Amino acid sequence: MPYFTTATDKTKLHFIDYGPADGPTLVFVNSAYFGTEMWEFQMLPLAAEGYRCIGLDRRGHGKSEDVWGGFDLDTLADDLGSLLDHLDLRDVTLIGHSLGSNEAVRYLTRHGSGRVARLALVAGMAPGIVRGDDNPEGLPAEAIAAANETFRRDRAEFFATGGDAYFALGLPGNDVSAAYVQKVIQDCHGATARAATALVANLETLEMAPEVRKIDIPTLVIHGDQDASAPIDLTGRRAAALIADSTFKLYENGGHGLYVTHAERLNADLREFSGR
């Protein structure tokens, strides 16, 4: 089972590396709570088609080491950088979902685009949902903090009752079985209590518009218009407007879990975007 240690604090992280070593390289950055299993409908078919598909379990997630510290965005971005350095990856298409999009952006603003040729934000949380000068329509930090406290008190309830909204079930095209929803809920518990609560605490202050403006590589922004977790006007549309070289694709009736409900369309868009 492949592992590497981070350059920051020597935390041991698990990663997967599927497909041929010489294929076009796609690096996936997970949402909060999930390990690399979330990308099964992307990594498996794309690797079978000749893409090299790589992802890591964030610290405290999946099969990676459970640690106390390092859930700030700088350290998480540096962990991602340690993986790219460990495998000496070049010409990467970097794909981030939800909070993973913020890690991808922070990686680029901290480490540059020497290894990364393209960025894809899928149902991204970037730039952020908190109210601020760059986001006057955002949510008050106090409201996000209160929601995080509710989450801390009963993560199980939060996960168990969130499946319908996460996948926008009941809307056309969002056909996910009850069994798969339960599987995803269980996957969320792959993050430790410390990792889950420390990670989402970032949302209370996370406003990355100045950083997003600095993105200097082609960027694909994919977002559903029914995304309850990352409201499109605060995140996807705003990210696309801030990035000079961006392409915006709206998935009608799409929720937050586009990588499941719209897997085939997402894969086709990633193929086209990565130049193959």
Q: Catalytic: which of 17, 78, 79, 227?
A: 227
Number of helices (H), then strands (E), belonging to the chain: the values are 12, 8
Q: Catalytic: which of 223, 256, 262, 269?
A: 256
Residue 225 structure tokens: 């218009």
- Is there a catalytic annotation at residue 256? yes
Q: Catalytic: which of 31, 64, 82, 98?
A: 98
Put the strands of the sheet holding 219-224 in their side by side order: 3-5, 12-18, 52-56, 25-29, 92-98, 116-124, 219-224, 246-251
Residue 62 structure tokens: 């999946």
Q: What CA–CA distance (Å, rounded) separates 141 from 73?
A: 17
- Is there a catalytic annotation at residue 98? yes
Residue 228 structure tokens: 């309850």
Q: 130-142 burial, b if ≥16 CB within 10 A, otherwise e?
A: bbeebbeebbebe
- Residue numbers annotated as active site: 98, 227, 256
